[in-house]
Structure 1
């Protein structure tokens, strides 16, 4: 008997139709994006690239002084808000002062001064964007355009909360691309956060705290509360009172968000309580390494069995103070490894022939290269997550913001080592570098974290896109949102219930005491009468 001919094309079409029928449909949506500049934009842009690739229309609100967010882009159309001062100016002044203070030595006075400067800088940044928000609300044509555009949702970074207020004003569903909010870490606004084992940002603590460390943790929590109450909240609350019917508080608006795309995961983060509408997308920007440019690949391969060390301080800092750069360069010059160092400005005089200075490096591709042995980094979230993804141990020199806390999480898991900027010299840097290079436990622990991070049923990026489209399909996700944000603080902690339950018991106790006192006094008077 002859065999039946196989219609390969027909089978392919049939399977394709089947696959499409099982895929949740989401026609191209219309998304309004209110991002934060700097390294936060690097994360947001990666998410926008994927949303654009899947057919969504994107509009980005940016400032006229933005130093990263381009006005023209194939990914999005932009709405530019005029601003006289850019946030970059604030950061430059603060960063230089922070590095200088760390080198001069830590003291209580220095700590309070840096804290004051930091809070002042943050307060000014919020005030700038609150002014920009007022500018939007007072521009009738812009407001009309935003309403007529019929956006499906607002995607925003809540470290600056102008996008949160705008979403409320436009009555649109809201998705947060988040790790930080207006004051502190995102979880603290929506999930129970016991101070006994959840370290506050800036505290430099882990989830294992003794009594004095818990006291310190309470102190840092108090700073965040005061910052929100007196330095950040009033600017937004005034706008809410004027432009939002019924008024509102910024923390309550954050708690109303439909989905929190959280740029972290529990491979990196300490275990803690969470909520149903929090989706963990830590490492969503990570991808397998691509081939290096030919000249860079040749340099890497020339390292032979010794491998390569790479060093970068992220997007905000071009170079360390000159004396530190000189000392680091002298140690690199002694190493048998080749070194690729992102460093702008004057080259250190102690630079060795084994060190390649670059203005920019393909960080992801270098971290994924098998010749890379150690990553010397400042501890920014992006770099730490990429190091985890590729399994490269980290020697960290934290400079400011959340960097020490990020590196501490690696150090607590034996995957990295921290050197404080004030302690960096030839001896400490050489000792730290040799330890991370030659103690195999660092690489083993980091590769274990890498395996845990990669072992997920759905990639972080696919999760992020799914939940953005989920909110568009269902016009929100209120069923995943706790009702706690509608409760006053005394109801949240059941203090009113406790007061009502304790009142009868207290009345009864006072009645018994009064009766006993009355009977005692009466008995005492009778005794005195008999004696007389």
Structure 2
């Protein structure tokens, strides 16, 4: 019997081992919210039995088996000190400056990361992997790691489709109803909004080809001198794109078959809360409000007048308020509890939470959508305004812009969200749509990653559109030729008509009449 058990164990070991993939995750941005999506993707793959190596500035605190970190925290810390960005000032930056700024910054960081000692050690080792998963966010050169390590490439984005995804996949984003993420539009745009959305979309494409490509090409050739693919071939080589979006949180739009939506990938089963938070929320018999501005934006940096406006409103509520506030808050009302850190996913899941006040980041809004909790948004920058405008358009959220925070506006918005049942009912309805899927986001990630590997890059999923230039993809060349044909034909018709007029009508009109002949 023991021999049979040992044999069964050995058999299972080899079966699992033979199906295990070596996966390299490349998550270079210094944003915890971006990293959270990449980490959730590789966690799902790790849970499925695959071996994980992760390049990021956020190494694990507790080592795991089959999970290795290639850490470059030093680079992140260096740039955070040099940049010293105030997120509230960042939100006031004109939209046409934001993209080139982020692009230039990203490419500078990319060169430093690829030169960093631990990354160079990996590059020089030429260790073989089966799959490389790379975040796509103004730093496409990291995709070259897939060819360098002899593996299939998979990309992911932390929000809805950006212009770069269209470049990679041949996807089409009609500017008439697909807003760019950094614009605060929904899919139902006015003429002026459609005009600006079109202009901004083309502006991003021009920036990529004129500003980014020359710089990234030099970085690409410097760090990957033996690469056989051209820069454009490398950029268009992902087998699959995982995208942090879903129709319930954004809007319906076309995608190519290799673009897989995995919104909610970071949302796991709610865990028990720390005793103090559990007791506070359990005792909220009239309901509770959770207030968090995420990891990058800190509530302690709110101007005093806006902070006091919020506290005055909270003090008049019968609901309890749990606020992520990073320092001591004197004179706070009795119904307000502050904490420098919150297990956000877990507190939003508490049955007594009636409203979530948020900056509108996609992680927090997704967690609220998962639980069916209405939103009050205070968006600052990036895709936050678009996320919150979607919540308003769908009927489960309201917005108070940061510059407009007053007691009257905050109190009016909270009164509506707490007392009008339509917001809660809509949030619950959309939550059912969000969770009603054939596979969970985690299952989708595992299935499609293994699918791409099984089918050696899944070339059959790739559209021929990805091989076309943009003007070919939208048939500008065809329309131009048709326009020329129309112009030439119109000119020919004009000259023919003029000739016939001169040949027959003008000559006959020039002949003298009988009266003229008599005279």
TM range (shorter): 0.7 to 0.9
Normalised TM-score (structure 1): 0.82
Partners of 1:447 and 1:91 in 2: CA distance: 41
The alignment partner of 1:306 has SS state of coil
Partners of 1:521 and 1:360 in 2: CA distance: 88
Counterpart among 371, 374, 384 of residue 355 in structure 2: 374
Structure 1 residue 78: Cα displacement: 2.8
User: Is contact 1:94–1:117 with CA below 8 Å preserved after alignment?
Assistant: no
Normalised TM-score (structure 2): 0.84
Q: Structure 1 residues 26 and 393 mapped into 2: Cα distance closer, same or farther (>3 Å)?
A: farther
User: Is contact 1:184–1:201 with CA below 8 Å preserved after alignment?
Assistant: no
Counterpart among 47, 56, 68 of residue 53 in structure 1: 47
Partners of 1:488 and 1:196 in 2: CA distance: 21
Structure 1 residue 92: Cα displacement: 4.0
Counterpart among 307, 311, 317 of residue 325 in structure 1: 307
Are 1:77 and 2:68 counterparts? yes
Q: Structure 1 residues 223 and 351 mapped into 2: Cα distance closer, same or farther (>3 Å)?
A: farther
Structure 1 residue 352: Cα displacement: 0.8
Q: 1:471-518, CA deviations, whole angstroms, 9 ceiling, x for partnerless residues?
A: 222221111011212123343233444556676676565455445545
Q: 1:119-175, CA deviations, whole angstroms, 9 ceiling, x for partnerless residues?
A: 324412222203433668995x643413xx220011111113232232244453111
Residue number in structure 1 paired with 2:453: 472
Are 1:334 and 2:316 counterparts? yes
Q: Structure 1 residues 33 and 326 mapped into 2: Cα distance closer, same or farther (>3 Å)?
A: same
Structure 1 residue 443: Cα displacement: 0.6
Q: Which moved more, 1:130-139 or 1:214-223?
A: 130-139
The alignment partner of 2:231 has SS state of coil
Give the 5 Å matches for 1:117-156: 119-133=100-114, 142-146=122-126, 149-156=127-134
Q: Which moved more, 1:153-162 or 1:239-248?
A: 239-248
Q: Structure 1 residues 379 and 185 mapped into 2: Cα distance closer, same or farther (>3 Å)?
A: farther
User: Is contact 2:178–2:187 with CA below 8 Å preserved after alignment?
Assistant: yes
Partners of 1:488 and 1:293 in 2: CA distance: 54
Larger relative contact order (CA 8 Å, sep ≥ 6) = 2
Q: Structure 1 residues 515 and 69 mapped into 2: Cα distance closer, same or farther (>3 Å)?
A: same
Counterpart among 224, 231, 244 of residue 248 in structure 1: 231
Residue number in structure 1 paired with 2:182: 202
Partners of 1:155 and 1:120 in 2: CA distance: 25
Residue number in structure 2 paired with 1:44: 38
Structure 1 residue 201: Cα displacement: 2.0
Structure 1 residue 260: Cα displacement: 1.1
Point out where structure 1 has 5 or more consecutive residues left out of the alignment: 1-12, 102-110
Are 1:364 and 2:345 counterparts? yes
Counterpart among 140, 157, 160 of residue 178 in structure 1: 157
User: Is contact 1:134–1:239 with CA below 8 Å preserved after alignment?
Assistant: no
Partners of 1:490 and 1:309 in 2: CA distance: 50
Residue number in structure 2 paired with 1:287: 268
- Equivalenced residue count is 493
- RMSD between aligned residues: 3.5
Point out where structure 2 has 5 or more consecutive residues left out of the alignment: 513-519
